[in-house]
Structure 1
């Protein structure tokens, strides 16, 4: 993981439901792998976002969702 990924990883894990931490770690690891392979696409993130949102504590959904949507706007469709 690069520094930005490490920061995002910590940011997300602080906001994930306690019983969903391992699932979130696996999902994040997959997304970082796709980023390093160059296969992290708009199609992938459009599936990643709802999956990750489902793992979050309800009070953190809006904050994280807005960050991920902003990030996805920078990806090629």
Structure 2
């Protein structure tokens, strides 16, 4: 994901997390973005992201975020594992 896409994704997620959980969510996202930039981001990272971020989301936003993550996961799988 390019830096502009990362910024959009970060904003999308942060607008949907529970109040007070923004920093924790941002740390998870920044960790994944760093791995993407380093070329070490893998399918395992995609799949471990979802439960970690879901725990921080507002209940009514979970399905919306899951749909976006699934869409990214499909794109990622088409381009292959970065490792």
- Using structure 1 for the length normalisation, give the TM-score: 0.92
Distance 1:44 1:9 in 2: 16
Q: After the TM superposition, list the runs of 4 or more consecutive aligned residues in structure 1 that deviate by more than 6 angstroms.
A: none
Residue 29 of structure 2 is aligned to residue 37 of structure 1: no
> Which residue is 2:24 aligned to?
23
Distance 1:66 1:11 in 2: 12
Q: Structure 2: 5+ residue runs without aligned partners?
A: none
- Using structure 2 for the length normalisation, give the TM-score: 0.85
Shift of 1:74: 2.3
For residues 13-53 of structure 1, the C-alpha deviation after alignment (integer angstroms, 9 at most, x for no partner) is 00000121110010011010011011111111100111111
CA RMSD after TM alignment: 1.4
